[in-house]
Amino acid sequence: MRVSLDQAIALLKAGEVVAIPTETVYGLAADATNDSALAKIFTLKQRPADHPLIVHISDASQVHDWATIFPKVAMKLAHAFWPGALTLVLPAQSHVSRVVRGGEVTVALRVPSHPLAQDLLQKSGLSLAAPSANLFTQLSPTTAEHVESSLGATVPVVDGGPCQVGIESTIVSVNAAGDWLLLRPGMISETDITIVAGIPQLKKLLRTQQKAIPRSPGQHALHYSPRTPLLLFKDRATLILESNLLKNSGLSCGALLIGIGDMPSCQLLQLENNPPLVAEQLYSALHKLDALKLDRILVELPPIIPTWAAVLDRLNRAGFKAHSS
Ligand code: TXA
Ligand code: MG
C-alpha cells in the first residue's frame, strides 16, 4: 500500500512499521526507541531476534545520542561518506534497545542520502531502525514493487523509485581504540575506507596475533536468495554448457550475464561490464528472473578483483558455485 511522506510520519510516530526508500535498498523502518514497534519488524520479516538492526539518523551530530564514543577514524569516515552507503558500528550507549543491538554491546548507525529518507528523518525527528524490507534470507528490494511482492500488499510503502546504489551499505565496525574492521563489503570499497581511515584494517593484526575476529551477526551464508535455485559460473562457456544440459533434460533456465560474448539459448538478462551499474541492477535482475518461475537461474560471476568485491559477496550468498566451473 503506497503512502505519502506525511502518512508515513504519522504511522511511524504511532509505533507502526513503514517501508522506506534509501539509496541502497528499501528498508522496513520503525521508531528505534520503541520496542513494540521494533518487534513488528521482526514479526513481519520473520527475522531471528538476535540479528541487530541499523539505526538511520539524519546527520552525524546524532551519533552522540547512540554511541558512547565517536573515535576519530569513525569521524573521518562519516565526514567522507555520509550521507551515503556506509554503516558505522560503534560502542552503544546503555539506553540503546537490546532489540536494536541484537544483544551486542554495539550499535550500527547510518545517515542515508536518499532525499525521501532524509525528509522522513528530518520532519519526523525520529531515528529509524530499518533492515532491508524483505522476508528473512530473501532478495533485498530495490523498488516499492519488490517490497510488496515480498512482504505483502498491505505493508505501507513510501515509493521513492528504484534505488541508485542497489546493494546494501558497507558496514565498518570501529572500536574505542579506533581500530576498524570491514563487516560487510559494499560499493564504498575496502580501499576507499583504508585511504580515509589512514590505518590498515584490524583483521590483518588479528590474524598475525591469532585473536578471535569480532562476530558479524546476521551475515548468513545463504542470504539474499531468490526462490529459484541459482548457480554461479566463473566462465561463460561452462554456463552455456550447463544451459544446454538443462534444456536436454527438459528443464527451463534463465541467465544473468555480465558483458559481451556468446549467449546461451535461454531467457537472458545482460548487464554492462561495470561494477556500479551491475550493483544498481543486480537485485532487480534477479527479482525479474525469479518471477519467471524457471527451474534454474545461471549467473556469470564477474572477475575476482577488488572493484567487484561487493557484487561477488552478494552473488556468493545468493547461490551455489557450479562444481564443473
Ligand atoms: O543499506 C543498508 O544497510 C540497508 C538499508 C535499509 O539501510 N539495511 C540493511 O539492513 O541492509 P539489514 O538488516 O538487512 O542488515 C543489517 C546488518 C545485520 O545483518 C548485521 O550484519 C549488521 O547490519 N549489524 C547491525 N548492527 C550490528 C552490530 N551492532 N554489530 C555488528 N553488525 C551489526
Ligand atoms: Mg537484509
Nearest CA to ligand 1 atom 19: 218
Residue ranges, the chain, pLDDT below 70: 204-223, 323-325
- Beta-strand pair 128-129/54-56: antiparallel
Cell of 307: 572493484
Distance 53 CA to ligand 1 centre (A): 5
| pLDDT value at residue 2 | 98
For 118, counting Cβ atoms within 10 Å of its Cβ (0-12 exposed, 13-18 middle, 19+ buried), the class is middle
Q: Please report the pLDDT score of residue 24 as a whole number.
A: 98
Pairing type for strands 106-110 and 18-20 reads unpaired
- The pLDDT assigned to 215 comes to 56
The pLDDT of residue 325: 43
Please give the distance, rounded to the nearest whole angstrom, from the Cα atom of residue 199 to the centre of ligand 1: 24
181 alpha carbon to ligand 2 midpoint, in Å?
19
Give distance in angstroms: CA of 280 to centre of ligand 2.
Answer: 16
Ligand 1 nearest-atom number relative to CA 107: 29
Name the maximum alpha-carbon separation found in the chain: 61
Ligand with minimal distance to 169 CA: 1
CA-closest residue to ligand 1 atom 10? 131
CB 138 within 8 A of CB 27: no
The secondary structure element, H or E, covering residue 44 is helix 35-45
Structural domains for the chain: 5-212 (3.90.870.10), 230-323 (3.40.50.11030)
Nearest CA to ligand 1 atom 6: 27
At residue 184, the pLDDT reads 97
Assign 171 to helix, strand or coil.
strand
Residues with Cβ within 8 Å of 165's Cβ and at least 6 positions away in sequence, in order, are 23, 24, 85, 186, 187, 276, 279, 280
Q: Which residues contact 129 (CB under 8 A, 6 or more apart)?
A: 29, 30, 31, 32, 38, 41, 53, 54, 55, 56, 100
CA of 6 to the centre of ligand 2 (A): 26
Pocket residues for ligand 1 (CB within 6 Å)?
Answer: 22, 24-25, 27, 51-54, 87, 89, 101, 104, 106-108, 110, 130-132, 168-169, 171, 183, 216-219
Which pLDDT score, from 0 to 100, does residue 223 have? 61
Please tell me the distance from the alpha carbon of residue 71 to that of residue 77, in angstroms, as a whole number: 10
Tell me what pLDDT residue 48 has.
87
For the chain, the first-to-last Cα distance in angstroms comes to 44
Amino acid code (one letter) for 163: C
